[in-house]
């Protein structure tokens, strides 16, 4: 695996494991409780998994034609910077319809964790296939910034979790 991809993957894996570890001690009611019109902790986790699963599926398809796509450049780096900033600000974004439609209704943390493990296993297999000279190829489409590279995708996965952590913290405060 390309060293940069390995570093980013290990980073998001550590972040995921830390998040799940912090949730394992919570009871079913706490994990599934939510104020009207807001997501529960379980729904947030399911959303994160769904977004990643759809992304991995897309990357799997695009990697087949990696030779025919261009590299990212300065414009994509700028878009990625703006995306990172947007994920760190306390702004609400409507989840894409396709993510909502493909989000599981599972309400058991253990089963969601197993699903996320599978998604991450699939992601790791893809990352191991990416040749060094393909690391900057535009093979991931983000709903807001368009085509970006695999490194950007991993950075987005990290930022997406960071974006949703305040929601989880606020739900735990209401307990």
- Average pLDDT of the residues in 94-123: 92
CB 76 within 8 A of CB 148: yes
The tokens describing 25, both together, are 């001690």
Q: Which residues contact 76 (CB under 8 A, 6 or more apart)?
A: 138, 145, 147, 148, 149, 152
Domain positions in the chain are: 3-173
The tokens describing 75, both together, are 């414009």
d(CA 166, CA 175): 15
Assigned CATH for 3-173: 1.20.120.450
Residue 142's H or E segment, with its range, is: strand 140-142
d(CA 79, CA 42): 30
Each residue's pLDDT tens digit, 40-70 = 999 999 999 999 999 999 999 999 999 999 9
Each residue's pLDDT tens digit, 111-167 = 999 999 999 999 999 999 999 999 999 999 999 999 999 999 999 999 999 999 999
| Strand 140-142, strand 146-148: pairing | antiparallel
pTM exceeds 0.85 for this model: yes
């Amino acid at each position: 695996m390309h060293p940069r991809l390995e570093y980013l993957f290990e980073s998001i894996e550590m972040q995921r494991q830390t998040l799940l570890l912090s949730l394992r001690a919570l009871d079913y009611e706490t994990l599934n409780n939510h104020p009207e019109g807001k997501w529960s902790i379980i729904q947030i986790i399911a959303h994160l998994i769904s977004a990643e699963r759809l992304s991995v599926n897309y990357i799997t398809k695009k990697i087949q034609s990696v030779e025919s796509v261009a590299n990212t450049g300065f414009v994509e780096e700028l878009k990625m910077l703006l995306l990172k900033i947007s994920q760190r600000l306390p702004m609400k974004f409507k989840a894409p319809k396709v993510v909502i439609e493909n989000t599981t209704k599972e309400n058991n943390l253990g089963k969601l964790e197993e699903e996320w493990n599978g998604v991450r296993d699939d992601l790791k297999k893809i990352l191991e296939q990416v040749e060094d000279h393909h690391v900057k190829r535009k093979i991931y489409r983000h709903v807001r910034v368009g085509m970006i590279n695999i490194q950007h995708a991993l950075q987005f996965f990290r930022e997406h979790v960071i974006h949703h952590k305040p929601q989880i913290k606020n739900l735990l405060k209401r307990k």
